[in-house]
């Protein structure tokens, strides 16, 4: 069974600085997707960034980028120029391409605080 591990329950960053959130996963599959979701206090999960495993190039979305290391099964999220609005829970998630089309597997999350 696939698992997703986020080893940092909490992280803190100074406004305008850079922070990296860690995620590792375990799978025997070769085709899959990885995601980072943000969950503010409103509870609504918002997609931050997505990576297809077959793509070697790391995904980027404005201030958000990932470091995808397929062999190491690592998928970290880097947030540059952190803003107060980035404060939230961040969840790493895995989706097997060939499996259930709804079964996203989430980690336990990392709570990010941004200090002004």
Partner 1 sequence: GAGVSQTPSNKVTEKGKYVELRCDPISGHTALYWYRQSLGQGPEFLIYFQGTGAADDSGLPNDRFFAVRPEGSVSTLKIQRTERGDSAVYLCASSLNSLQNTGELFFGEGSRLTVL
Binding site for partner 1 (CB under 8 A): 4, 33, 42-47, 50, 52, 91, 93, 95, 97, 100-109
Based on CB atoms, which residue is closest to partner 1, 16 or 46? 46
- Beta carbon nearer to partner 1, 33 or 64: 33
CB of 90 to partner 1, least distance (A): 10
DSSP-derived 3-state class of residue 11: strand
**Which distant-in-sequence residues (6+ apart) come within 8 Å of 60 by Cβ?**
49, 66
Biggest alpha carbon–alpha carbon distance for the chain = 44
In whole angstroms, the minimum distance from the beta carbon of 80 to partner 1 comes to 22
Total Cβ atoms within 10 A of residue 24: 17
């Amino acid at each position: 069974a696939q698992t997703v591990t986020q080893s940092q329950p909490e992280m803190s960053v100074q406004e305008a600085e850079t922070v990296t959130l860690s995620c590792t996963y375990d799978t025997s599959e070769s085709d899959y997707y990885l995601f980072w979701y943000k969950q503010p206090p409103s509870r609504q999960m918002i997609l931050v960034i997505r990576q297809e495993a077959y793509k070697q190039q790391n995904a980027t979305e404005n201030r958000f980028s990932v470091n995808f290391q397929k062999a190491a099964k690592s998928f970290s999220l880097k947030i540059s120029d952190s803003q107060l609005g980035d404060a939230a829970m961040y969840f790493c998630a895995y989706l097997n391409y060939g499996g259930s089309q709804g079964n996203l597997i989430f980690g336990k999350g990392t709570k990010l605080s941004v200090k002004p």
